Every structure is written in C-alpha cells, then in structure tokens.
Amino acid sequence: MKTHLDSSPVKSISFAAFVNDFLQLTKFRLALSVVFSSVAGYLLVVDQVETKILIGLFIGGFAMVGASNAINQLIEKDLDALMSRTKNRPLPAGRMSALVAAIIAIFLTVLGVMVLYAINLKTALFGLLSIFIYTCIYTPLKTISPLAVFVGAFPGAIPFMLGWVAATGEFGVEPGTLFMVQFFWQFPHFWAIGWMLDDDYKKAGFKMLPSGNPDRLTAFQIVFYTLWTIIISLLPATSYTGNLHLSIPGAILILIIGLYLLYYAIKLMQLKTKDAAKKLMFASIGYITILQIIYVIDKFI
C-alpha cells in the first residue's frame, strides 16, 4: 500500500501487522484501563448490572479513547519521529498513512458518540468533551507550557465518573468526587513519567514537568499532589459525598495504599533519579487500580 499524503511511502503490511498498528494507534492498553475505570464508576452506583450499559461503556469508552489517541498521533507524527519512545509508532515509522489514521479516528469518534448516546445524552457529551480537550487543547499545549498536564488531567479524570453518569444520567457530588480522585492522581503519575522520559520529551520540545526540569521543585509538587490525592480519596468516608460511601475498613485500606504511594513520591524527592520516578509511576498505577477495586468491593459488602 502506497500513499502520497506523507513524505515517506507506507510499506505493505499483513492484516496481523495492521491490527498491531491499530492497537498502537489507539493505545489499546491505555484504552482498557479507561474502560476499567468507567466500569468501576458504574458498579459504584448500581445494585443490578444492566448488560446493555456495561457493553456500551466497554465499546464507547474504548472508541472515544482510541479516537483521542489516533488524532493525537496524527497531530504529533513529526514530533513522534524525534523521540526514541515513539519513533516506531505506525505513522512516524511509515507503516500507516495519515489518511488511514484519520479514517480510523473519525470512525471511532462516531462509533463512540453513538454508543454513549444510546446510554444517555450526558454520557455522550462528556465523552465528546474529553476528545475535544485532549486533542484540541492538551495536545498543542504540550510544546508551549507545562500547564498541558493540568489541562490533560481533565479528560483523563472523566472515565471514573463516566460510569456513574451512565448509570444515573446525572452529574452531582458523587461523580464529581470520582472525577477529583482521578484528576489529582494524574499529577504524580504523569510527572513521574515526565521525569523518566524528560530527555526524550525535550527532543520533541514537550514541556511536561512543572518546573521544566526533573528537579527538587518538580519533586516537591509531586509530593504535594500525592497528599491531595490521598485526602480526596478518603472523602467518601465522610458524610459529604452524597450516595458515594466508604466504610472505615475501606478507608483504612485506602490510607495504606496512599501511604505506599506517598513513600515513593518522597523517595523521588530524596533521590531525584529516573529509577525512583519509574517506581513511583508503577506505584501510582497500582494505587488507582487497587483504589477502584476497594471502592467497588466496599460498596457491595
């Protein structure tokens, strides 16, 4: 397959290779984690699972995240070619044309909106909002200001609350709390990634760290936002989050994993190494995953 839309020809590939490129373009593993968050948010509100809504969250959630990532890689294909981490993606490597990627992005956007709209209007609107912020504000802002991470935290925080909105058709204090949990969590998570990949990001001109460098100021902010993440994660144990509740044993478990996350944030501030940042990144993934599991199990016990 050849194309004249790109500066380099697109190589002929097998169907299996195309599927692999599709998964890379849509960031399949990231999409699965988003679907997991949405399903967790849904389970927190329902007493009886509706298969139609659950399947809709799976398909619609994957489609919206896949569309966002495809558009992002279309916009950044020349910058991706400059970084070791991304130069082998389908577009910069020349295995997929911009036209094919655009068709995939449009198809996934339409599919995601239709599926989420079939659940309810608010769910579809939040899905569209996440695509708009991610592709039209966050993506171009990455080369301009470290505020990109702040902006990107908004679409990144929508999935956890999306499940609640899908179940109720309403946005209130409960999905707002779920939004805040995942919103604040993203700062230590993505700044840890930014610390690890700082040299690579700078090749493309991306400004991902709050101070511009992997230094004490960035590490301090990582610790600061980690503390806020823990505090907000414990809010459902109070009486201020409506129908979103967390028992005392559940709160203790959340506090334990929160202290585990804080430990690695403090270690990064002390050591200021890429290895410490990598450990924090993995700890943050473990934190949000276990937190969502605890929330759901605590609701049904």
Question: What is the tens place of the pLDDT at every residue in 66-77?
Answer: 999 999 999 999
Do residues 129 and 204 both lie within one domain? Answer: no
pLDDT at 210 over 70: yes
Task: Confirm whether 215 is domain-assigned.
Answer: yes
pLDDT given for residue 221 in this prediction: 97
* Cα separation values, 16 from 13, 67, 99, Å: 8, 20, 19
> How does residue 14 score in pLDDT terms, banded at 50, 70 and 90?
confident
> How does residue 155 score in pLDDT terms, banded at 50, 70 and 90?
very high
pLDDT at 10 over 80: no
Tokens standing for residue 64: 């919206």
Tell if the pTM clears 0.85, that is, is over it: yes
Determine what percent of the chain is predicted with pLDDT higher than 70. Answer: 96
pLDDT at 5 over 50: no
> What is the per-residue pLDDT across 90-127, written as a single tens digit (0 to 9) for each?
999 999 999 999 999 999 999 999 999 999 999 999 99
Q: 171, 190, 224 — which closes off a domain?
A: 171
Q: 140, 171, 202 — which closes off a domain?
A: 171
Task: Confirm whether 7 is domain-assigned.
Answer: no
51: exposed, middle or buried (Cβ count in 10 Å: 0-12, 13-18, 19+) = exposed
285: exposed, middle or buried (Cβ count in 10 Å: 0-12, 13-18, 19+) = middle
pLDDT given for residue 301 in this prediction: 86
pLDDT at 243 over 80: yes
Do residues 44 and 56 both lie within one domain? Answer: yes
Do residues 100 and 240 both lie within one domain? Answer: no
Do residues 38 and 83 both lie within one domain? Answer: yes
Mean pLDDT, the chain, whole residue set: 93
Q: Which of 9-18, 114-123, 243-252, 260-269 has the lowest mean pLDDT?
A: 9-18
> How does residue 13 score in pLDDT terms, banded at 50, 70 and 90?
low
Task: Confirm whether 9 is domain-assigned.
Answer: no
Tokens standing for residue 248: 């005392």
Burial pattern 154-178, b for ≥16 Cβ within 10 A else e, equals: bbbbbbbbbbbbbbbeeeeebbbbb
pLDDT at 186 over 90: yes
Q: 136, 171, 206 — which closes off a domain?
A: 171
pLDDT given for residue 148 in this prediction: 95
Q: How many domains does the chain have?
A: 2
> How does residue 8 score in pLDDT terms, banded at 50, 70 and 90?
very low
Range of the domain at 268: 172-301
Q: State how far the Cα of 144 lies from the Cα of 139, in Å rounded to an integer.
A: 10
